[in-house]
Amino acid sequence: MERVSRADRATVVASMLMAEPLPQITAITHTGIFQPMPTTVPLRGHRVIAGARSALDLVVPDDRRLIIEAWGNTLATGGSAAPMCTWPCCHTSWP
């Protein structure tokens, strides 16, 4: 896989920050753990994800493998995406 350039990553983040409706956002350490949002990120009223330790806490159990694979791809290439079902959007109760 080809590595995503720093400039391309910056373009994606800038685009996401300008998206409507405002997306939820979080900052993530290299180990995949959520961390406080840096004050340098120009939030415009975005909801910063709170109450979760990592993305694994936000998806249904069947999609955790997708999150782990996407994070591995991010570390290897500088970026990735994965379709997933977040809790509680896909289910009314845990399986």
* pTM of this prediction exceeds 0.85: no
- The one-character DSSP state at 54 is B
Overall average pLDDT of the 40-48 stretch:
92
Token readout for 46 is 């975005």
- What band does 94 get if pLDDT is binned at 50, 70 and 90? very low
Instruction: Please say if the pLDDT value at position 22 is more than 70.
Output: yes
Tell me the C-alpha distance between 58 and 38, whole Å: 21
Over residues 63-74, the pLDDT tens digits come to 899 999 999 999
Instruction: Please say if the pLDDT value at position 95 is more than 50.
Output: no
Overall average pLDDT of the 15-26 stretch:
90
- Check residue 88 and give its pLDDT: 64
Phi, psi of 35 (to 5 degrees): -135, 165
